[in-house]
Copies of this chain bind each other. A is one copy, B any other.
Amino acid sequence: MDTTELSALIEPKEPKKLSIISFSGDFDKLVATFTLATGAAATGYEVNIFFTFWGLDAIKEKKGRAFVGKGFLGKIFGFLMGGLHSAPVSRLNFCGISPGIFRYLMRKKNVATLEELVEAAKALEVNMYACEMAMHILGLQKSDFIHEVKDVLGVATFLDISEGGRTLFI
């Protein structure tokens, strides 16, 4: 076996693996997260998403504002954070009108909407995980999330799971 053969063997090393730490619950960043996730999964990537902090909004069972979470402050935060349907846009949010405009534009242009992207991610078996620590701080439990959420993990375990591919923080 000479060097050329070896190189050929070594070259296509990077596994088709995409991991995303979904921290932001902004509407547009969630669209980006799920577009990347479904685009990658559809072309054969193993995709892992680790939802943490505001990102947890994306996987809540209740899609609108609701007093989920334990404790008084937890419930208040839960309500203010809302769910997938109340995610704000990261810029030019205009007190909440903007996500509606985006939804309208996405529907009109036949681009998959955020809800459709989430459904596609489920269908494509994107692995979804919830961050243990953030759930603890915000008083959330596994039962508050959609049942597709595979597991509740700490950072170290997610670093293990996502090893060997690319990891993005969104």
Contact = CB atoms under 8 A, between A and B. Distances in A.
A130 B104 CA distance: 22
Interface in A5-22: 6, 9-10, 13-14, 18, 21
Given A10-B10, A137-B102, A155 B53 contact: no
A21 B168 contact: yes
- Size bracket, chain A contacts: 35 or more
Q: Per DSSP, are chain A's interface residues mostly helix, strand or loop, or mixed?
A: helix
A66 interface: no
Interface stretch (A105-113, A121-129, A144-152): A105-113
A141 interface: no
A54 interface: yes
Q: How many copies does the complex hold?
A: 3
Nearest to A14: B164
Interface string A78-111: 0011000000101110000000011011100101
B167 A73 contact: no
Given A9-B10, A23-B29, A36-B155, 20 more contacts: A1-B6, A3-B9, A23-B32, A23-B170, A24-B90, A24-B91, A26-B91, A32-B53, A35-B133, A39-B156, A40-B159, A43-B156, A73-B104, A73-B105, A109-B136, A109-B137, A166-B166, A166-B167, A167-B168, A168-B169
13 contacts: A6-B6, A18-B159, A21-B36, A23-B29, A24-B91, A35-B133, A36-B159, A43-B156, A54-B90, A74-B105, A81-B91, A109-B136, A169-B170
